[in-house]
A and B are shown apart, each in its own frame.
Chain A
């Protein structure tokens, strides 16, 4: 495909500058987003053990509920019966009490102690998984949501522009460059191939991410415009009146029966819980669960109405049974969240997310490489200030995010015994490490800082499974849950040699790579061989 050179040049300039402006924020969004694919397992791994006794069987849920309502009548307003209690939902009966705002609430769980007395505990889900998700949603910005979200939207728009302009630049050389990886002395060519390999084949994934992010960021504004233009009389929401009891003395069906009827009506739908709300003297119920054959609008579950007296499920909110328009909106969400196909697709999304983070990182490396002042006969020229600054910023922000997330995860199993405000501590640890890493990158320079921060990332990530190991031995109040939580530890352990290998490669390049580069060991005054590559002995730590 032929495109005029002047057109290509315009798109190239656009691609470069929108990439430079948004790349590092997108790195944080993608790295944190990749981890967020396993937010629920991470939350379970990070939640301290409950002090409640083992939950009674599902058949005994109603007895427990009656005991709860007798002592805590306010629980009747909003409660759950959990089908399979987990570490983050450790009770058979859980109720929610409202907080200051609509989305804030406190959860309590109940069980029977060995002597048959009622036990109640305020549930404390670990906030660290939510922190990683917030970093993802707000591209790492430490601002209030109202300020950070529009910035995230603007970054997503820049991302979309970068994708379109990048594709236009690539089209004329598509046949020659698609899937190419030319490893040789031309470093710029190499980074270009890596950048293309990471971005071209996975372009549909990136287009979906960019568009969905714009919608998430400007969601309220879109609805305002839609309300003003399409629904001048207001959106005609179809609010269905919940069915009342068939007879005045009718009672809701027991949870065991509701579960049996759910399996009959929705085979393949794994039920997590039944939730009940008292509204206007009516009992409303809904069923929450997951069918991995279909994508869901929420990240880890689907929910729909249920008649608590007959067990009849209203399927119109369940994926696979929606109206076409609802199904289209559902698809939009599921493509962003990767909420289809269960854990195998989550792993695929995690890998594509990490590849996306590398795409932005390599974009910056390409910018630096393109502006490299090459060696002349009279010696090694000093690299431009802008290249040095962007090098330090790229290393500091990217690796600061990596080390910060690992450090705050490693602290998870030590904090609950020592501090009250867990969320503030996790946030404080992340941002302290992040800011320190950025400062370190500027003080030490990009090459040395890259090696040191990668080693620090390996150490901080190694501390994650070591903390769980301390929990196995009961050291310092740490804990370890039996079950699948070990996968979090194994994944962290697998990342350690990867960070060390990249650190070793980066050090080799610093020591023996081109000396006329921001990635070379600084202040080398030794005479250079004709190849322009520094001797390994020039590398001193």
Chain B
């Protein structure tokens, strides 16, 4: 895939999201469903790789870029991740307090609620590939519960899941 096209597709996903993983439905739609340059399992692995280390959420687009076009693709992902951040400067300069207007905040809340629904919808095809039995089901459930009901750091959740998987394979 052409690197510029990849950058623009990833940018389309990042610039229309307001929070880490909410760019995922657009990426799933464009790269997995429409263009078929990425598989569900690769997208799932990208999300795991993006969270296996430190740094901001949303880093998984770097991994998505790598799966599609190797290291140059990963740099397109990195660029697509960074580009929208600079929009804040004109906003700080000209818009300032307008961004805090109730109707704008309310519209953004609408986008976030819709993004949450989309995120669940596009997690389903990924789950079909990787949550296939009692063990993976238990890991997915444990991960969900730990990340919603406790304040445990996500790094520990990922480490625990890897260790559990290793152990299950060894036994």
Do chains A and B interact in one complex? no
Residues of chain B touching chain A, judged by Cβ–Cβ distance below 8 Å, are none
Contact residues of A with B, CB < 8 Å? none
